[in-house]
Structure formats: C-alpha cells, structure tokens
Amino acid sequence: MARIDRFLRGLIVPVLLIALWYTLSQTGVFRPEILPSPGAVVQRWIAYLTPQDALSPHYDWLAWLNSSEMLSDAYSSLYRVLAGFAIGAGLALPLGLLMGADKRVHVLFDPLVQFLRPIPPIAYIPLSILWFGLGNPPALFLISIGSFFPVLLNTIAGVRQVDGIYIRAAQNLGAGSFTLFRRVIVPAAMPYILAGARIGLGTAFIVVIVAEMIAVNSGLGYRILEAREYLWSDKVIAGMVTIGLIGLALDLMMARLTGYLLRWHRGLES
C-alpha cells in the first residue's frame, strides 16, 4: 500500500502539468504548430511507434522491431549510450581507484583532470568530427567524455572517504596491499562509485541526443532535429517523451542494481 500511495502522489504534478498543457492548447493561447495538444502528441507517438503497414491483415508482427521508426531510433540511441558509457566508465574506474588510493598518482593526474573537467562534451563536437568524421565514432567519443568525469570524480571521492578504522583493522589482521585494496577499499567506495555511474549514465543520455543532432543520421536526436525542420512539433514532443521514458527506465534499472549491490550498506537498510 505504501508503494501505491507513493506512486499515486508522484502522479499529482505530472497530471496537473498535462491538464495545464491541455488547457493552453485548447484555449488558443499557443498555435498548434507551437504547442500541439496532448492528444495530437499521443497520436503522433503511436504513429511513430507503429509501422505504416501494421494494419494490413498480412502484416508480419515479427518484422515490427525492424520496421518501427521509433524502435529503430531508440535502439540506435541506446546502443550509443551503453557503448559510450562502457568506454568512459571503463577508463574512469581504474584511474579513479589509483588516484584515490595513491597520492603520487593523484598529484600526477589531478591538474589535468581539473583542467579538462569544466569543458563540456559539446565543445568537443568540432574536433570529434575532424578526428572521426561522421557516424558512430564521434558520438561514442562525446558520450565517453560525458560519462568519464562523473565516474572518475565519484570514484576518487569514494576511495578517499574510506574510514581509516577499516584499513587499520585489515592491516592488523595481516591483509596485504592487494587484499586490502580488493576486500576493503573497493567495497567501501562502492556507494560513491555506483552514484557516479548513475550520474554518468544520465549524462551519456544527454550527450547522445546532442551528438545525434550533429554527427549521425539516426537515433532519437536526429529524428527530433528532422521533425523541427518540417515544423512537426508534435513529433518533436513525441521524441522527447520517448527519451524521457527510456531515461527513466535506465535510471530505475541503475537504482535497482544499486539497491541489490549495496543491500549490505546501512544507508539502504529499511
């Protein structure tokens, strides 16, 4: 009952916003080309999801996954997000562990990290196109940059926040450097690492939309830009809704994974 109550309370603000949206679209405050009605967006979203020949009695529904424009775009965007995140997080995690555990490594790399960190991934777009051309490579490059720094900084912070009591207790029990690192430091830093991964995955989804608007000719970002060129505002909003739904699903998956991996952590005790 508590979960149902929380879910219903969470619907209050979205329902009010949709009601306000419907009112503005029906009273003529904005032209339909500027702000289409919620019903028009739903119709466009269904058309975006459903292939044109889906109503045919001989339609092969197994071909739906390949012929649905939305599913094709969503697959392209999701592939780029996950691949770019894997690259960025895969590079950030070991570097963050080393920088957090070894002061010499931290002194060596920290100035460069602090110099590059404020530069937004969007600023790399011209260079990424010059270096990699068009297509997936520049998009993966930008996404990996966007997900790299959240994972790196949270990993460093997690390692440096490990309670010294744990380290001294393990050393008194005869734990070597490798065992100390693997059995004490990494598990204790895991809440920070997973928080950084969750932020990095969200950032990767933001960056992929921008990259698809510039460097590739497929994906949700490309489709939104195409709809803008034809003044299809309903399709623009339908694409935004799709992005929001996929992003919400990814965030919920990361939250469930975090809860499962950190079920031992006192901060997650019920």
- Kindly state whether residue 37 falls inside one of the protein's structural domains: no
**pLDDT band of 2, cuts 50, 70, 90:** low
251 contacts 258 by C-beta, under 8 angstroms:
no
- Number of domains into which the chain is organized: 1
| 81 domain residue, yes or no | yes
Helical segments of the chain, H only: 2-10, 12-26, 38-49, 64-67, 69-101, 103-116, 125-132, 136-160, 164-172, 177-180, 186-212, 220-229, 233-261
Rg (CA), the chain: 23
Going by the DSSP 8-state scheme, the letter that residue 218 receives in this structure is: -
Q: Is 218 contained in some domain?
A: yes
Asked, for residue 49, whether it belongs to a domain, the answer is no
Better pLDDT: 42 or 270: 42
Q: Which domain holds residue 258?
A: 65-265
Instruction: Compute the distance between CA of residue 90 and CA of residue 86 in angstroms, rounded to an integer.
Output: 6
- For the ranges 123-127, 149-153, 235-239, the one whose mean pLDDT is highest: 149-153
pLDDT in tens, 49-96: 876 555 554 555 555 556 677 888 888 889 999 999 999 999 999 999
Question: Does a structural domain hold residue 205?
Answer: yes
pLDDT band at 270 (very low <50, low <70, confident <90, very high): very low
CATH of the domain at 224: 1.10.3720.10
First to last CA, the chain: 16
Residue 30 has pLDDT above 50, yes or no: yes
Q: Considering only residues 3 and 124, tell me which one the structure prediction assigns the higher pLDDT.
A: 124
* Cα-based distances in Å from 178 to 49, 171, 175, 261: 51, 11, 8, 22
5 occurs within a structural domain: no
Per-residue pLDDT band at 15 (split at 50, 70, 90): confident
